[in-house]
């Protein structure tokens, strides 16, 4: 299908599978592949078509019941994770899709290893699982605020200068394990600029219907912008892989962000060679008999 070919081309432009030389500053948060604001209607139309294709692929994924897909979204505050999930996944059958948001760990979470709360909600075969934030927070917010490690009840002798290196290794091994068991991992970093984040924060403050989105904590985290940029860059460098790629998605223009996310999800599903289960001779006989019986009534 022509649309799938186009989606794969777009996805390839933002895919990172080898992170060794990755530099965040080489990626423009305002990039739109040459499209301008007047092209927004075309982009929205492309997204609508992409949503239809995605729905068809998800239906085959569900029917085949062999693969699972895990979509991970990470970003600075106000980058548009919620909106991307809402718009891109709007046509997916809710019965085959599970969304989990990971905020501050609970007391129960802290009594387990840091992967536990994510592992217990991995998607079933035939399902798409969506993580709004994930175990990657353990290499981001915990790294920027190392005092959070004190709450994790880890034996002190295990908290060394190599802890982040060890966590990257753990995550790489975990994602290889998922891939080896038929869970396709697709990771998104929505790359928003500091200037655009400021504009969106001000919009939340000045628009009554958006006041509920404002968080003083988000403002506080903005003060650690450079630390977070360094942490994201290191995260991508250390965990990008062919079987678990990162998509560094320009996030200053939401209409374009959603097109790129949809393209990457379509590409991920299309690569699985999905198909509806083939019906055997015995089943065909049952179908024919049922049809004959119905037509008699």
Strand-pair category, 246-250 with 15-16: antiparallel
Mean pLDDT across the stretch 47-56? 94
Please write the tens of the pLDDT for every residue from 60-79.
999 999 999 999 999 999 99
For 57, 130, 177, the CA distances from 239, given in Å and listed in that order, are: 27, 18, 14
How large is the average pLDDT for residues 281-295? Answer: 84
pLDDT digits (tens, 9 = 90+) for 160-215: 999 999 999 999 999 999 999 999 999 999 999 999 999 999 999 999 888 888 88
Give 153's DSSP letter: T
Q: What is the DSSP letter of 212?
A: G
Averaged pLDDT for residues 78-82? 96
Q: What is the pLDDT of residue 297?
A: 67
**Residue (of 132, 140, 142) closest to 110 by Cα position:** 142
User: What are the pLDDT digits (tens) for 114-160?
Assistant: 999 999 999 999 999 999 999 999 999 999 999 999 899 999 999 99
Q: What is the largest CA-CA distance in the chain?
A: 77
Average pLDDT taken over every residue of the chain: 94
Q: Which helix (H) or strand (E) holds 186?
A: strand 183-191
The answer to whether 222 and 199 have CB atoms below 8 angstroms apart is: no
Which domains, ranges and CATH numbers included, belong to the chain?
Answer: 2-296 (3.40.50.300)
> What is the pLDDT confidence band of residue 241, given thresholds at 50, 70 and 90?
very high
Crossing angle of the two packed helices 81-88 and 40-64, in degrees rounded to 10 = 70
């Amino acid at each position: 299908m022509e649309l799938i070919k186009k989606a794969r081309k777009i996805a390839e432009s933002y895919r990172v599978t080898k992170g060794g030389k990755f530099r965040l500053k080489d990626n423009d948060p305002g990039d739109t592949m040459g499209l301008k604001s007047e092209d927004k209607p075309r982009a929205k139309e492309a997204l609508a078509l992409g949503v239809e294709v995605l729905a068809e692929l998800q239906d085959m994924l569900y029917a085949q019941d062999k693969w699972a897909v895990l979509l991970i979204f990470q970003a600075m505050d106000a980058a548009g994770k919620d909106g991307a999930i809402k718009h891109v996944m709007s046509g997916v059958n809710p019965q085959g899709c599970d969304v989990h948001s990971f905020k501050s760990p609970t007391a129960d979470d802290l009594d387990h290893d840091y992967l536990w709360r994510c592992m217990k909600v991995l998607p079933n075969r035939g399902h798409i699982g969506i993580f709004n934030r994930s175990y990657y927070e353990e290499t981001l917010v915990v790294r920027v605020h190392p005092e959070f490690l004190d709450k994790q009840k880890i034996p002190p002798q295990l908290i060394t200068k190599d802890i982040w290196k060890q966590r990257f290794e753990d995550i790489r091994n975990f994602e290889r394990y998922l891939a080896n068991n038929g869970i396709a991992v697709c990771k998104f970093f929505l790359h928003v600029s500091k200037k655009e984040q400021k504009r969106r924060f001000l919009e939340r403050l000045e628009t009554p219907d958006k006041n509920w989105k404002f968080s003083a904590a988000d403002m506080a985290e903005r003060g650690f912008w450079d630390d977070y940029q360094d942490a994201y860059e290191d995260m991508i460098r250390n965990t990008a892989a062919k079987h678990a790629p990162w998509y560094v998605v320009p996030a200053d223009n939401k209409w374009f962000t959603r097109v790129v996310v949809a393209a990457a999800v379509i590409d991920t599903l299309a690569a699985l060679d999905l198909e509806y289960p083939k019906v055997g001779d015995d089943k065909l006989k049952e179908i024919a008999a049922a049809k004959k019986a119905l037509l008699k009534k």
